[in-house]
Amino acid sequence: ICRNARRVAILENVVNPTNVGAIFRSAAALGMDAVLLTRACSNPLYRRAIRVSMGTVFQIPWTFLDKEKGVSELKELGFKTAAMALTDDSVSIDNEELLAEEKLAIVLGTEGDGLAKETIADCDYTVKIPMSHGVDSLNVAVASAVAFWQIGK
């Protein structure tokens, strides 16, 4: 699925089928080449996910990821990884070095808790979307659309 890909989305424990469907729709519309999901994610073939995705779960390549092997396999294929997380050392989603990466996997976490600390530590980048008016974060499906638009350009 990822051998010829340049831009990949990884979903870690995104359990809401509506969010999974919306992420697939954004991934297809905004240039992602594949979606990888951890086993705890809602199944993209769940009826609600299919409906929200407008059928794009049948258009974009996807698979469930072996979390331990998956990221290392991506790195072997030349991917850099970018964790979407609000940390003190997060770079902006429009960071020139990030956008210049030939192959990039953007990692999105579960609703509420976000990504596991271990996942963030294992990634090459930690990335945030700059916010205004004191808003600290976006829903994972909305954040995915912003990220996909920016890195897919």
Confidence class for position 124, pLDDT limits 50, 70, 90: very high
Given a cut of 90, whether residue 143 has pLDDT beyond it is yes
Strand partners for 91:
127
Helix axes 140-151 and 17-29, enclosed angle (nearest 10): 10
**Strands, DSSP E only, in the chain?**
7-11, 34-37, 62-64, 80-84, 91-92, 104-108, 125-128
Q: Residue 73: what pLDDT?
A: 82
Q: Which residue has the higher pLDDT, 134 or 46?
A: 46
Confidence class for position 104, pLDDT limits 50, 70, 90: very high
The two tokens of residue 43 are 């199944």
Q: What is the pLDDT of residues 44-79, one digit of tens each?
A: 999 999 999 999 999 999 999 876 666 778 888 999
Q: Residue 68: what pLDDT?
A: 65
Q: Residue 74: what pLDDT?
A: 87
> What's the average model confidence in pLDDT over 13-34?
97
Q: Residue 67: what pLDDT?
A: 64
